[in-house]
Copies of this chain bind each other. A is one copy, B any other.
Amino acid sequence: MAKKLLGIDLGGTTVKFGILTQEGEVQEKWAIETNILENGKHIVPDIIASIKHRLELYGLSKEDFIGMGMGSPGAVDREKNTVTGAFNLNWKDTQEVGSLIEKELGIPFAIDNDANVAALGERWVGAGENNPDVVFMTLGTGVGGGIIADGNLIHGFGGAAGEIGHMIVEPENGFACTCGNNGCLETVASATGVVKVARLLAEEYEGNSHIKAAIDNGESVTSKDIFVAAESGDQFADSVVEKVGNYLGLASANISNILNPDSVVVGGGVSAAGEFLRERIEKYFMTYTFPQVRKTTKIKIAELGNDAGIIGAASLASQFAR
């Protein structure tokens, strides 16, 4: 029997697991709740217990695996297989992760940042079609990303590469970002960023719009509400999507003007707007790219949804095949 890969996607609410073939096909998947109580001290033991239980259930042993990989929030040390400052897990201090899991399960372990891992997944069997040059951006609570260039995931000198959300798209008069800067992509293209753009545009919009009315009335409006309204013909909501598309098109174009990837793959909750959002990004991408890039780099919507994490994590383990 061909050996398998194990992928672990560690998140603040759930830990997702997958058993995959070496070709990236998910054969089994399951999830457990993330228990962040007591400084997250149960997380690693829970992961170990869950894997042990499932391997027994499926009649598998460590010999059936090439290795396992994990995507984690926080700052990941890929040499020591540790995680630091993953605040949504209550992991403030450095946590031993890989050493414990490896010791208990006897399977080689690799780890990387969650956005990087999702990028690897989408690149491998998702919209990236296993091309050596793929850029992934995820539009959710924040805006994150991962860059695969010439076949390698790019970490950078300080390990901070791929932070697409902190590209500056509004150098003057931008919204304040959690990073301390102003005008980051995240402030205008995350789920909350889209709403911020709507609030700003609402100040000057004078036509009829139930979205503008809701904003002016202080009702809760989500980025999804805005995209749904725009698709149904609400002109104000459409102007918000246009503005957000402009920012995303500019960021995608500037990334592509320097990296010329096969594709920029857009994922995350906001990307649920699908083709409606993609077209809008592409319109501005075409405006801001120079001809050779315009002809060769594509804007795509992510295909793997929540599975990107376990698939990308599993792909980290491919390195142990050699």
Besides A156-B260, A166-B257, A255-B258, 5 more A-B contacts (Cβ < 8 Å) are A145-B258, A152-B152, A163-B290, A179-B290, A181-B288
Task: Give chain B residues whose Cβ lies under 8 Å from the Cβ of A254.
Answer: 167-168, 254
Residue with the greatest number of chain B CB neighbours at <10 A, chosen from A133, A257, A260? A257
- Give the distance to chain B from A110, nearest Cβ to Cβ, in Å: 16
Pick the contact of A296 from B158, B255, B257, B287 — CB < 8 Å?
Answer: B158
14 A-B contacts (beta carbon < 8 Å)? A133-B156, A145-B258, A149-B149, A150-B154, A156-B259, A156-B260, A157-B260, A158-B296, A159-B260, A159-B292, A160-B290, A160-B293, A164-B258, A181-B290
Docked Cα-Cα span, A252 to B171, in Å, equals 13
Pick the contact of A262 from B152, B154, B157, B258 — CB < 8 Å?
Answer: B157
With both beta carbons as reference points, the residue of chain B lying nearest to A171 in the complex is identified as B250
Q: Work out how many copies of this chain go into the complex.
A: 2
Task: Give chain B residues whose Cβ lies under 8 Å from the Cβ of A147.
Answer: 149, 258-259
Within 8 A of B (CB), among A253-285: 253-255, 257-262
Tell me the A residues contacting B by CB distance below 8 Å.
Answer: 131, 133, 145, 147, 149-164, 166-168, 171, 177, 179-181, 184, 246, 250, 253-255, 257-262, 287-293, 295-297
Residue with the greatest number of chain B CB neighbours at <10 A, chosen from A147, A151, A259? A259
Pick the contact of A257 from B149, B167, B171, B297 — CB < 8 Å?
Answer: B167
Task: Give chain B residues whose Cβ lies under 8 Å from the Cβ of A159.
Answer: 260, 292
Docked Cα-Cα span, A151 to B168, in Å, equals 26
Docked Cα-Cα span, A234 to B288, in Å, equals 35
Docked Cα-Cα span, A152 to B160, in Å, equals 18
When the two chains form their complex, are residues A157 and B133 in contact, meaning their CB atoms are under 8 A apart? Answer: yes
Task: Give chain B residues whose Cβ lies under 8 Å from the Cβ of A287.
Answer: 181
Task: Give chain B residues whose Cβ lies under 8 Å from the Cβ of A145.
Answer: 258
